[in-house]
Amino acid sequence: PVSQDQLISPQLAQSDQQFQVVMTCHSPGPVLLSVHVAYETTRGEYVQLDIPFTVHAVLPVTLSTAKTDGVATVNGSGFMLVAHVKAAVAPLRIHKLALKHVTPYATIVQSGGNNDDEECATPFLGAGDAHSLVLHVTPREVTVSHILAHVLVQWSSLDHPEHVVTTELALPSMAFQPAPLSVKIDDMPVFGTQGHVTWVHVRLTNHTISGYIVDVKIGSDSSEFLVAGVVDGHNVQVLPMETISVTIGLVPLQPDENVGHLTLPKVEVVHVDSNETFRVTDQRVTLFVVPDNHTTSAAMLLA
C-alpha cells in the first residue's frame, strides 16, 4: 500500500476541482484504490470522506493461441501453432518479436516474426489489434508437459517512443508422447555410385497392441534417384509389438561425371485408415555420389 497527500486550493460553492492519480502496476490483477478527502467548511466544520474503488491492471501486450489438448506425438510430422500478440489497451509500436528459451525437445520454425537485426514487419498495433506468429513445431523427444518457448516482445507507447520495454510471454505447455509407430532407417551407406543400386532398410516398429496397415511412400522433388523395391499404394501390415524391415533400392542418376552430394528422397509412412503420417526424424538429407568409373577405394577416400 502506498499513500500520498495532495493539497487542493480553496474551492468556491458549486465549483469543480480535478486532481490526477498516477498508478504504476508491476503485475496484472485488481488493485484497490482508496481516495481520502478531508476539508474544512467556511463555518469551521471539518469533514472527511473515504471513496474506495477497484482498478483492474492489465498487461499492455498479451499472447493467445488456439486451444490445444496439451499433447503432441513424436512422429516426425509436427504441427502448426499460431500465436497472436495483441495490444491490449492502447496503441503500441512493436520493435522486435523473437522466440526465447525454446524447448530442447522440439524444433520450432518461426514465420511472421523477425531476426535480431530486423525491424518488425508490423511496427504499429492499434488498441485491440494483434500480430500473428506462425510456428511449426516438430517434437523430437518424448517428455513431460513443459513450456514450448517464450515470445520476446520489445515495445513502446506512442507517447513515449524512446522508452522501450521488453516483455516475455509464454507459449502453451505441452507434453510429447511416443508415436504408436516409429520409423527408422538402418544401414544407410556412406556413399553411392552412379548407376548402381544402393540398398536402404526402413525399420517399422509397432509399439501398440493393435495392428497397423501402412503405406510406405518414397517422395522426391527431383529425378536424382531411381527408386526400386517400394511402390506407392503397396500396403504393409505391422502386427502388434512387431518390428519389420522394408528394403528400398536407390539408384543415383547423376547426369555428369562430377562427384557431389545428391538430395535423398524422403521416406513417409502413412496409416491407411487414419491417414496419419509418420516420418523418419533423423533421416540424412543427402548422399555422396561418385561417378561409375571410380573404384571402391577411391570412392571411400572421396566420401
Per-residue pLDDT tens for 31-82? 888 888 888 888 888 888 888 888 888 888 889 998 778 899 887 778 899 9
Predicted confidence (pLDDT) at residue 103 exceeds the cutoff of 90: yes
Q: What is the mean pLDDT of the chain?
A: 81
Q: Could you identify the residue written with the cell 468556491?
A: 12
Residue scoring higher pLDDT (223 or 106) = 106
pLDDT of residue 178: 85
Contact 187, 284 (CB under 8 A): no
Q: CA 285 to CA 205: how far, in whole Å?
A: 22
pLDDT tens readout for residues 192-241: 888 888 888 888 989 889 898 998 888 765 577 888 776 656 788 999 99
pLDDT of residue 81: 92
Closest CA to 76 of 278, 272, 284: 278
Closest CA to 102 of 168, 179, 178, 27: 168
pLDDT of residue 298: 45
Contact 262, 252 (CB under 8 A): yes
pTM: 0.60
pLDDT tens readout for residues 236-274: 899 999 999 888 888 887 655 556 788 888 888 888 888
Q: CA 134 to CA 4: how far, in whole Å?
A: 47
Predicted confidence (pLDDT) at residue 302 exceeds the cutoff of 50: no
For the chain, the domains span 61-178, 181-290
User: C-alpha grid cell for residue 77?
Assistant: 510430422
pLDDT tens readout for residues 119-169: 555 688 888 888 888 999 989 888 999 999 999 999 998 888 888 889 899
